[in-house]
Structure 1
């Protein structure tokens, strides 16, 4: 039987520090598939989804690809528009993810970094789930420090995301980020040690 890597789904709500944790996995030598980066590539200049998105949401693309603020304005708060966009984006990201998995078939462990893992049913496509979490006050302060972020926009984003408590309840492991970086890094190392099989005889 062909062996394949153990697939760890890495997720967490906005402002929880997921990108930092994903980078720690990568620094430890674990291949990481970044779903957000795949979306940016597919929607960037010459990206293969630009024409389909323009057709579905006229005026949301240009020479630089998808105009993300314009697209966000077109879909945020509109469930029907969001489903239409997801119907364009998700299959293309799934193709990229399959190619990534094939390219790293010999790795003992790979990470799928997916912001909306639970919200899109993505947990069914992974073997284990790690949730990145921080205290609500820390999450809010981090997110509101981002350029262009407002309390109303943050609330609209959080309304689309499964509450952090629910994510933690459904996780196989929780990685804290409202602690010193070394503590978070140690948690990542422990996850890797638990999930990568020993090479001993």
Structure 2
């Protein structure tokens, strides 16, 4: 029987790096962010609906993420604009996730990499949840080093996310990325080894 591990963590915590480490171990990983990028990319399935809901936020290359972000984040964390966008994106991502689960039904372990897993209520559908975490100063340094990122934008993003302490408290497993990459890799390998023997349960 397949064991489904939900992988989540706030912005800048190293979740993508951890997901890649699981993939390096041969664990199939569903990357919700990558699916969203594809849905919003050139000829993406969500582009027309997003343009209809947020005029002027798309072009030949698909969704202009900066323009869409301004339109959505400017409305506040729980605003109507965010709810409109989620009503377009979440069902489409859900269909992709269902297809992924069906395609890997024989795998002993699957990882679903979902940034807003707790915030969207998706944790209930997992066998366990692993939260990727690092000290706040490390997180902030990583995020502000990204091109185009500002303190104001970071605060707006964090306003949409459950605080790290709350995520850690709700997690079945915590992967600490505040140390070296090798230390993180050891944690991932140990967790994968612990969960994989559940095959057949």
TM-score > 0.5, shorter chain as reference: yes
Q: Deviations over 1:152-184 (max 9, x none)?
A: 110111111100000000000000101111111
Matches of 2:175 and 2:133, distance apart in 1: 6
Matches of 1:122 and 1:47, distance apart in 2: 24
Aligned position for 2:41: 44
Aligned position for 1:129: 129
Aligned length: 197
SS in 2 for 1:196: helix
Aligned position for 2:84: 84
Judged with a 3 Å threshold, the aligned counterparts in structure 2 of structure 1 residues 69 and 135 are, in CA distance, closer, same or farther, namely same
Q: Give yes or no for contact 2:3–2:199 (8 Å, CA) kept in 1.
A: no
TM-score under structure 1 length normalisation? 0.96
Aligned position for 1:21: 18
Structure 1 residue 34: Cα displacement: 0.2
The runs of 5 or more residues in structure 2 that have no matched partner are: none
Matches of 2:80 and 2:120, distance apart in 1: 15
Q: Deviations over 1:110-161 (max 9, x none)?
A: 0000001001111012110000000000000000000000011101111111
Matches of 1:66 and 1:72, distance apart in 2: 10
SS in 1 for 2:4: strand
SS in 2 for 1:10: strand
Match of residue 53, structure 2, among 33, 45, 56? 56
Matches of 1:180 and 1:43, distance apart in 2: 34
Q: Give yes or no for contact 2:108–2:199 (8 Å, CA) kept in 1.
A: no
Matches of 1:54 and 1:124, distance apart in 2: 32
Structure 1 residue 71: Cα displacement: 0.5
Counterparts of residues 140-159 of structure 1 (less than 5 Å): 140-159=140-159
Q: Deviations over 1:40-77 (max 9, x none)?
A: 00110001110000000000000000010000001004
Spell out structure 1 runs of 4+ moving beyond 2 A: none
Match of residue 10, structure 1, among 7, 17, 39? 7
Aligned position for 2:181: 181
Judged with a 3 Å threshold, the aligned counterparts in structure 2 of structure 1 residues 169 and 57 are, in CA distance, closer, same or farther, namely same
Judged with a 3 Å threshold, the aligned counterparts in structure 2 of structure 1 residues 169 and 198 are, in CA distance, closer, same or farther, namely closer
The runs of 5 or more residues in structure 1 that have no matched partner are: none
